[in-house]
Amino acid sequence: MTLAHPSLPRYLRIEQDKIEKIARSHGLDFFPVVFEMLSYSQMNEIAAYGGFPNRYPHWRFGMEYERLAKSYEYGLSKIYEMVINNNPSFAYLLEGNSLTDQKLVMCHVFGHVDFFKNNFTFRSTDLDTMDRVVDPTTKRGNGYDPNRKWIDKMANHGAAVRRIVDRYGIQRTEEFIDVCLSLENLIDPWSRFVVRRTVEDEEDEHPREVEVPRMRAKEYMDEFINPSEYIEEQKKKLTLEREKSKGKHPQTREQDVLLFLIENAPLERWERAILSIIREEGYYFVPQMQTKIMNEGWASYWHSKMMTGDVCDWSEIVDYAENNAGVMATSGGRLNPYKLGVELFRSIEDRWNRGQFGREWEECSDLDDKKNWDLRLGLGRDKVFEVRAMYNDVTFIDEFLTEEFAIEHKLFSYSWSNRSERFEIESREFRAVKEKLLAQLTNFGNPQIFVEDSNFENRGELLLTHDHRGVDLRADYARETLSALVRIWRRPVCLATRADGKAVVLRYDGKEHSSRSSDS
Amino acid sequence: MSLKIDQDHSRFRGIVRGKIRDNLRRYISQGELLGRKGKDIVSIPVPHIDTPRFIFGDKQKGGVGQGDGEVGDAVGGEGDEQQDGAGQAGKDAGEHILEVDITLDELADILGEELELPAIENKGKSRIIAAKDKYTGIRRVGPESLRHFKRTYREGLKRAIASGAYDPKNPLVVPQHEDKRYRSWTEDLEPVANAVIIYMMDVSGSMGDEQKEIVRIESFWIDAWLRRQYQGLESRYIIHDAVAREVDRDTFFRTRESGGTMISSAYRLAAQLIDQHYPSTEWNVYPFHFSDGDNWSMEDTLTCVEILKRDVLPRVNMFAYGQVESPYGSGQFIKDLREHLSGDERVVTSEIRDRDAIVGSIKDFLGKGK
């Protein structure tokens, strides 16, 4: 039994049933999908709200709406499909699209929903019965059917913010939301999967002896492997470190800056509520940012497999091909995540079908042998299903983007040239390209920033550190963001980072921005 | 149907309008908008409407792309249209300035609000409607000259595949009669201009580039405002030194002569134009004259006044004279005009000392609602 929205015409309902059956026969495993038919203005509206029919009020949704509506009106782009990670999943079809297009979208959507359900990163969006996020590492049994009522949750957030607006006025509320949005990306994408904080039990009453980790050794060898002078030395060092961090808050640096602020900043109740909402919604979108390439690749892999297999009839294939070519196009040297993803999945399938993996393959240096390598293993299909469950974009690219692939798809890295004042192709060398791509995807493309100390220099100032990995922060934005932090922390805020090769501490005290070199 | 997004959208527009309004005076005097004028759309850069965050500086970042090209070649796609949320890679490489497109009408409205310009009362009566053909659709029959090649080919390809005649190794598609598709058109009814601006400019030696630039900027805004008030608007351009002639817009702003100045020649020509083409029963007529105010002789000035009184003023909504200050001009003409025509409501004069005076001068000209 499938769910259906009343706006979905009968003939599409029939198609949905057909496609759903085909998708299942291929082994796809998805939440129930509700298709809804929208006019283009409704589509633009929902797209502006990030796919949700109900969000909290904020002008930037209006801005996004204008951009979408304009580009639709001028014929620059149009949104074909949208699907929400929710259980049941909601997917939107654009009214007036041809039947072929609608079928294409449906096939694509089932790919996405299978991905939502099975890829591990999305498990951090599972909710419990109180609509709180559950620990994604808990084991799941058979018949996995999590609560992902995010549409309701977002609507509740909307209602909560509207109540605040009624009380404090749209101006004040919106200004505070602006401040929170400046900090939206200061979250820890993996915090839901690992325990970062350990509660130091009764630390002050019974200070434990510092323990130096020892290497394993047979008893008679111990003195040689773990010499006692060395152990003593380490012990002193560790004790000293512990002394140093005593009374320091937070004890270890904290990447979930938003959580730290929610727990420690002097906020009013309504402000805390808004900041919590922004943080929660921020986390909801993290898996989608972490798997953009895989997710689109997987959906495209399946729409093309199904459309050219059982779904299209001959009269539709030309329209399908034209449309598909548009989606897959790489113009202006830009990397298209749909294209990159689908090609990687196909390459994995092909390699595992032909046994092009493992030690023997790696060690083979004969190009001709490699080219004709075919062990007829037929493991491709199983492998792609496994990959879609267990990888994210970073590990996906890291493991499966091979040199052959990079050459075949003409990948290059580019960088800014000061001399000619433009972006130029920097390299086609495999390692360089891959490194750049991975760097771009790490921490979903955001700088890694930590709360280091909430009582910096014993003045109650907040110190953040930027883990600098070769790319400076954008200076004017960094200053503005510091202002936003001061608005929340109500004391001066400092950021330790690097600029132009030098270590600097940026500081904003509520009136003036300053920056001092911190190279020792 | 009203949408939920409307409230958010109108608040966004409010922010943008606020920004535009703040900057309007600057834009007006700098003429920044002029180069950006598309069809009826003006792009206005509105700085910093996206939310500042800790993000990477663009220039050091670079990225990964796909396609042909040698090491050292430029990478295209800067500032292109975003694809629907397609990753952060490579997009928005340049400045982070949001360009908000607003229509000239909207811009004129903002200008009107800012300068408190009154709406104009329409003096002309009839509005002529003319038909125009537009190619908008596709149909199955039509002249060969209108055949749509791509559509025809696609139909042929579809038929070939459906009938099994298509051979991927020899992809030959021969369109048959029933494959052919033709462009078709519809008739659009368009209102024809019922207002006309006659721009006149002194191009004698004493009018320099700066003076012309001021005229150019000012005429852009006058155009924008009057266009907002009237369905259609025609513009005519007359340049003069000792003699006057009608030119096109480009020539109007580019020509520089070195002769003397006989303003009466321009007024005479303008009167002629109105006589021949713009009967005052149907047309709202707006002559605008710009000069540095250095006429040949007092005698010619008197002729001017006479022509204005007799041939021009009875037929126009208003007559505007803008005097641009130049290092060479005596600036006498505006005084003479004021002296002789001070009682006439239809005559508006304005001195434009420099670019910053443009705003005030627009208000002088258009503030009467004529």
What are the chain A neighbours of B168 within 8 Å (beta carbons)? Answer: none
Alpha-carbon A148 to chain mean position: 17
Report the gap between the CA of A183 and the closest CA in chain B (Å). 6
pLDDT at A396: 96
Q: Are residues B26 and B101 in the same domain?
A: yes
Q: Would you state the structure tokens that stand for residue A77, as one six-digit string? A: 């782009």
Inter-chain touch B66–A340, beta carbons under 8 Å: yes
Is residue B58 in a domain?
A: no
CB-based contact, B154 to chain A, within 8 Å: yes
Q: Are residues B233 and B343 in the same domain?
A: yes
- Domain spans, chain A: 329-440, 447-517
pLDDT in tens, A455-491: 888 888 999 999 988 889 988 889 989 999 999 999 9
Q: Are residues B162 and B280 in the same domain?
A: no
Inter-chain touch A416–B60, beta carbons under 8 Å: yes
Q: Are residues B212 and B355 in the same domain?
A: yes
Which residues in chain A (431-470) have CB-CB distances under 8 A to chain B?
433, 436-437, 440, 445-447, 449, 466, 470
B228: domain CATH number?
A: 3.40.50.410
Measured in residues, chain A has a length of: 520
Interface test with A, best of B2, B5, B6, B166 (most A CBs within 10 A): B5
CB-based contact, A188 to chain B, within 8 Å: no
Q: Are A388 and A115 in contact (CB under 8 A)?
A: yes
pLDDT in tens, A79-110: 778 999 999 999 999 988 889 999 999 999 99
Is residue B212 in a domain?
A: yes
Domain count, chain B: 3
Q: Are residues B142 and B220 in the same domain?
A: no
Which strands make up the sheet holding A461-466, listed edge to edge? Answer: A449-456, A461-466, A493-499, A502-508, A513-517
pLDDT in tens, A182-217: 999 999 988 877 765 555 544 555 556 677 777 788
Which residues in chain B (70-109) have CB-CB distances under 8 A to chain A?
70-78, 80-81, 83-84, 86-91, 93, 98, 101
Tell me the C-alpha distance between B15 and A59, whole Å.
Answer: 9
Report the gap between the CA of A438 and the closest CA in chain B (Å). 10
Mean pLDDT on A231-257: 81
ipTM over 0.85: no
Q: What is the DSSP letter of B122?
A: P
CB-based contact, B39 to chain A, within 8 Å: no
| b/e A437-472 (16+ beta carbons within 10 angstroms → b) | bbbbbebbbbbbbbbbbbebeeeebbbbbbeeeebb
- Final residue of a domain: which of B143, B165, B189? B189
pLDDT at A415: 84
Is residue B336 in a domain?
A: yes
Q: Are A188 and A279 in contact (CB under 8 A)?
A: no
pLDDT at B28: 59
Three-state DSSP state, B177: helix
Interface test with B, best of A166, A334, A410 (most B CBs within 10 A): A334
What are the chain A neighbours of B166 within 8 Å (beta carbons)? Answer: none
What are the chain B neighbours of A318 within 8 Å (beta carbons)? Answer: 154, 157-158, 161
pLDDT in tens, B133-152: 888 888 999 888 999 999 99
The percent helix, strand, coil of chain B (3-state, each to 5) is 40, 20, 40
Q: Are residues B174 and B253 in the same domain?
A: no
pLDDT at A471: 86
pLDDT in tens, A25-83: 999 999 999 999 999 888 999 999 989 989 999 988 988 887 787 667 655 567 778 99
The candidate with the shortest Cα–Cα distance to A285, out of A84, A481, A63, A43, is A84
pLDDT band of residue B5 (cuts 50, 70, 90) is confident
- Final residue of a domain: which of B189, B210, B231? B189
Q: Are residues B135 and B277 in the same domain?
A: no
Is a pLDDT exceeding 50 seen at residue B47?
no
Tell me the C-alpha distance between A440 and B297, whole Å.
Answer: 74
The candidate with the shortest Cα–Cα distance to A118, out of A305, A257, A291, is A291
What are the chain B neighbours of A94 within 8 Å (beta carbons)? Answer: none
What does the mean pLDDT of chain A come to? 87
Q: What is the pTM of this model?
A: 0.72
Q: Are residues B204 and B260 in the same domain?
A: yes
Is residue B125 in a domain?
A: no
pLDDT band of residue B6 (cuts 50, 70, 90) is confident
Write out the residue range of the structural domain in which residue B208 sits.
Answer: 195-366
Identity of residue B338? R
Nearest to B15 among A59, A331, A433 (CB): A59
pLDDT at A26: 95
Spatial neighbors of A266 by CB under 8 A, at least 6 apart, are A489, A490
Sign of the four-CA dihedral A400, A404, A407, A408 = negative
What does the mean pLDDT of chain B come to? 77
pLDDT band of residue B288 (cuts 50, 70, 90) is very high
Q: Are residues B164 and B208 in the same domain?
A: no
Beta bridge partners of B350: B322
Is residue B104 in a domain?
A: yes
Q: Are residues B319 and B298 in the same domain?
A: yes
pLDDT in tens, B150-206: 999 999 998 888 888 888 888 888 888 889 999 998 887 766 657 888 999 988 877
Which residue is associated with the tokens 């052959």? Answer: A404
Is residue B206 in a domain?
A: yes
CB-based contact, B1 to chain A, within 8 Å: yes
Could you tell me where the beta strands, DSSP code E, fall in A352-429? 411-417, 422-427
Which strands make up the sheet holding A81-84, listed edge to edge? Answer: A33-38, A89-94, A81-84
Mean pLDDT on A142-156: 90
Is residue B65 in a domain?
A: no
Is a pLDDT exceeding 90 seen at residue A314?
no
Q: Are residues B168 and B305 in the same domain?
A: no
Cα–Cα distances in angstroms (integers) from residue B91 to residues A276, B63, B171, in the given order? 30, 10, 37
Q: Are residues B238 and B362 in the same domain?
A: yes
pLDDT at B108: 76
Tell me the C-alpha distance between A393 and A121, whole Å.
Answer: 10
Tell me the C-alpha distance between B19 and B21, whole Å.
Answer: 5
pLDDT at A57: 93
The candidate with the shortest Cα–Cα distance to A117, out of A83, A154, A92, A151, is A83
